[in-house]
Amino acid sequence: MEMTDGSSTPDGYGRRTAVLAMQPGLSGALFDAQTWSQLSRVLHVDPGLVLHEFDSDQAVAALADAEILITGWGCPPITEAVLAAAPRLAAVVHTGGSVKGHVTDACWERGIVVSTAAAANALPVAEYTLAAILFAAKGARALEHRYRSGRDKVDLVAEYPAVGTYRRTVGIVGASRIGRRVIELLRPFDFVVSVYDPFVTEAEAQQLGVALADLPEVLSGNDIVTLHAPSLPSTQHMIDGPGLARMRAGATLINTARGALVDQQALERELASGRINAVIDVTEPEVLPADSPLYTLPNVMLTPHIAGAWGNEIRRLGVSALDEVRRYLSGLPFAYAVTPDQLAYIA
């Protein structure tokens, strides 16, 4: 395909225009030199122009020519007014997971095609979850606390006879992209896995190699329960006080999804009792108050929302966006398209 000046791009695409829209500083983490070089071979895109608002004269001028918006965390909502300023806009390629914060009804009404990097972001979350499951099965948090505080030999046979990964049971709440990736990662191990997801059929569960169960069964019947459901009005506080009380004594709850899935006060009470353990990467609110007991409880591993893509993992999201741009320019459907009908059950 030729450009307007008669030349051709090396990859055979006509170089159409894209604009970056995300929080300041993010584009440099998403696109390393190699990825940026490949992106700029197929698109007119200014690396120095990153929109974090759509109201300025500069933003309006950039939107006038944009066929593709490459969006990221911090992208403002793409409203009717924004679309009026972007008459050529036909595609949104998001480098994050959820598109609900910026893709509005007006985008769907225009027929804009939308892609997400949720699949790429699912990989590090699933890896974190696998590590958390293995550590939970080995009793690593309790043993670390015991060893640090006692500073002497730990009699594993006498003090911790139940630790180990062999035939331990894992319950997965939500067969999302991340939940399914966790199932894949668990296959080489000797875990017994069950899943709660109202959208999964018995046939699908058999294909995944897991048992299908309802939520009370998953909570009461497993040594480890890990949450991978989307945060929706219907899932808010789906893990409540009675649900936590159903968990086995000594069981571990892992939350890498969203804090809103769990009743925070009920969780704090249950953990303070010492009856269950937890690996918590997300909370409600996202940053806990300084006096939260979760900071100091020995049966809690608390991390500051690190399970998703961070550091060099963010580059994977940039590569995912590049791949989707190439598909779009080739006339192919997105590999990870988002459609309006999916919004009711995805994050």
> Is residue 16 among the annotated active site residues?
no
- The greatest distance separating any two alpha carbons of the chain, rounded to the nearest whole angstrom, comes to 79
- Rounded distance between C-alpha atoms, residue 99 and residue 28, angstroms: 21
The residues spanned by each domain of the chain are 16-115+312-342, 122-302
In the set 248, 305, 315, 326, the catalytic residue is 305
Which value, to the nearest 10 degrees, does the dihedral of the CA atoms of residues 114, 124, 38, 11 take? -60
Residues 224, 121, 292, CA angle at the centre, nearest 5°?
Answer: 55
The secondary structure of 45-84 as a DSSP string is: --TT-EES-S-SHHHHHHHHH-SEEEE-TTPPPB-HHHHH
The one catalytic residue in 258, 270, 284, 316 is: 258
Name the DSSP class of 2. B
Beta partners for residue 211, in sequence order: 194
What fold, for 16-115+312-342? Rossmann fold (3.40.50)
CA gap 25, 159 in Å, rounded: 50
CATH homologous superfamily of domain 122-302?
NAD(P)-binding Rossmann-like Domain (3.40.50.720)
Structural tokens at position 79: 């409203």
Contact (Cβ atoms closer than 8 angstroms) between residue 49 and residue 20: yes
In order along its 347 residues, the chain shows pLDDT tens digits of 333 333 344 444 557 999 999 999 999 999 999 999 999 999 999 999 999 999 999 999 999 999 999 999 999 999 999 999 999 999 999 999 999 999 999 999 999 999 999 999 999 999 999 999 999 999 999 999 889 889 999 888 888 888 999 999 999 999 999 999 999 999 999 999 999 999 999 999 999 999 999 999 999 999 999 999 999 999 999 999 999 999 999 999 999 999 999 999 999 999 999 999 999 999 999 999 999 999 999 999 999 999 999 999 999 999 999 999 999 999 999 999 999 999 888 87
Is 204 marked active-site? no
